[in-house]
Amino acid sequence: MSAFDVRDIMNAVGPSSAYAEAAMPAVQRPAARPRAMSPLVLCGTVRILEGAALLGFGVLLYAVMLHGRIASVATYAAAICLVPAVTIALAQAAGAYRLPALRQFVRTSIRLTAAWTTTFLVLAALLVLAKLADQTSRLWLATYYAGGLALLLGGRIAVSRYVETQARAGRFDRRAAIVGGGDAGEELIKALSAQPESGISIVGVFDDRNDDRSTDTVAGVPKLGNVDQLVNYARNHHLDLIVFTIPISAEGRILQMLAKLWVLPIDIRLSAHATKLRLRPRSYSYLGSVPVLDVFDKPIADWDVVVKAAFDRIVAFLALVALSPVMLAIALTVKLTSRGPILFKQKRLGFNNEVIEVYKFRSMYTDLCDVAGQRTVSRGDPRVTPFGRLIRKSSMDELPQLLNVLKGDLSLVGPRPHVLHAKTADTLYDQVVDGYFARHRVKPGMTGWAQINGWRGQTDTEEKLQRRVEHDLYYIENWSVLFDIQILAMTPFALLKAENAF
């Protein structure tokens, strides 16, 4: 976030903000739209694959043509490492790793050929200057050049067809909602519509103003409701981006709207297209050629999503293998000490308020299980079995959630998922703490920053819930893989302090 601070938003609307009424407590999102694909991740993946393919081809040629026939391999090893690195760098500088370039084979093939040829000219010059040209196989160099070029261009044909297919399916489109109609909204919509290469697909306009100042359509785009309805729309439909067309001078109005919208895991931008205020070009980001000011960003996006997902699944799989004897022993004990199923399944709020089903070892008597989570567990709770008290105290009842991590419903680290309609002193959580739903901007986790800082277990008072949410939001704003590793490393020590876990 760059333009506004969360505290400014909260102070602008006071302690009783309107987004708590607008935010939906639970969402079952339709799965009609194809899963979106990040252009940044795709372009990076193509870059990595091409570099690896060129490196592997060079090694293969050496093994087939020269292995065991020459005394020194240092020259060839240096060349095999240098060629892919220089080629990728030159192609990157030539713009060959942008989404439009991946779709346009003819124009991009010229850039790749130029980069590949320039690399070999540089290699040839270095060999001459180092007086190694006579000791280098010309046949190997010629074969590497011709075969590598064919590999590059053949791969790009396949990539261009794949990218074109995915683009037609809308997998690269960023679905955007416009906040604010009138002339400014119309100008912005026309500017974005004139640039199909921007990848922006406008789904509708949302405006809080009366109908006499806000028409049913703006530049052919339908008005779908007001800002409160935008929150509900974003919960139920895939939405990537919200763009405000409201003048920067209307700070109070913008802050009131942001107080409803910042809890969403969506990029929020302020259009600078029609404003008279002009900042330095570096102050803006761009949607195509339309300048915008960054207000909020998705906490985890693009490569961060890939890295966190890979980290979660790898570590969860290793943990599941390592802890399988312990989990088997717990499962047998649960089965032998009380009647009923081994696992307890409960619906909870996940990413963007989606409903997920979380697994736990059953720690209560079957006929006393509280599936809805209406009543929190307290010290000496008669619903909990004797063995259940032991595994709840040590949080071993939550080990089956490693399966949730492998499924993708949970992360290893994140805000703990709460039950639907969770309450503190008969008051819903979102009505107790302003900004409560903002903790759902990332996937929930098995452990989190709040838990290792002592805010685990009961949330029977407003202060406990407030502190937990504060720690959750701190984690979201400061996420990194190293932060996740730190939290995981501290979790076993935090479990030794189990004052609030019953």
- Domains of the chain, by residue range, sit at 6-33+173-296, 39-168, 303-495
Sheet with 217-218: strands ordered across: 217-218, 221-225, 200-206, 174-179, 241-244, 267-271, 290-296, 285-287
pLDDT tens digits for range 362-380: 988 887 777 766 667 767 7
Please tell me the distance from the alpha carbon of residue 326 to that of residue 330, in angstroms, as a whole number. Answer: 6
Tokens of 241: 């981006």
**Residue 53: enclosing H or E segment and its boundaries?**
helix 39-65
Cβ distance 297 to 267 under 8 Å? yes
Cβ distance 443 to 298 under 8 Å? no
For residue 175, how many other CB atoms are within 10 A of its CB?
19
Please tell me the distance from the alpha carbon of residue 52 to that of residue 58, in angstroms, as a whole number. Answer: 10
Tokens of 468: 């937990």
For residue 465, how many other CB atoms are within 10 A of its CB?
23
E runs forming strands in 343-476: 343-349, 355-361, 411-413, 423-424, 427-428, 445-447
Which pLDDT score is estimated for 325? 95
Which pLDDT score is estimated for 1? 44
Q: Give phi and psi for 36, each to the nearest 5.
A: -70, 150
**Any idea which residue has 């409701």 for tokens?**
225
Kindly calculate the radius of gyration of the chain based on its CA atoms and give it in whole angstroms: 28
Q: Which DSSP symbol is given to 262?
A: T
**Any idea which residue has 């969506």 for tokens?**
266
User: Can you identify the CATH homologous superfamily of domain 6-33+173-296?
Assistant: NAD(P)-binding Rossmann-like Domain (3.40.50.720)
Tokens of 368: 């006393």
Which pLDDT score is estimated for 487? 95
**Any idea which residue has 């590999």 for tokens?**
151
Please tell me the distance from the alpha carbon of residue 176 to that of residue 235, in angstroms, as a whole number. Answer: 14
Tokens of 66: 């020269």
pLDDT digits (tens), the chain, 502 positions: 445 555 555 555 454 444 444 444 454 454 445 677 889 999 999 999 999 999 999 999 999 988 877 767 888 999 999 999 999 999 999 999 999 899 989 999 999 999 999 999 999 999 999 888 888 889 999 999 999 999 999 999 999 999 999 988 888 888 999 998 778 888 888 888 888 777 888 999 998 876 666 678 888 889 888 888 898 898 888 889 999 988 777 778 888 888 888 888 999 998 886 555 565 666 678 887 888 888 888 999 989 999 999 999 999 999 999 999 999 999 999 999 988 899 999 899 899 889 999 999 998 888 777 776 666 776 777 888 899 888 888 889 999 999 999 999 999 999 999 888 776 766 777 777 877 888 989 999 999 999 898 887 667 678 888 889 999 999 999 999 999 999 999 999 888 775 665 5
Please tell me the distance from the alpha carbon of residue 20 to that of residue 266, in angstroms, as a whole number. Answer: 17
Which pLDDT score is estimated for 158? 96
Q: Is the dihedral of CA 20, 33, 286, 95 positive or negative?
A: positive
**Which conformational region is residue 493 in: left (phi greater than 0), alpha (psi within -120 to 50 degrees), or beta?**
alpha
Q: Which residues does residue 27 pair with via DSSP β-bridges, in sequence order?
A: 354
**Any idea which residue has 């064919």 for tokens?**
150
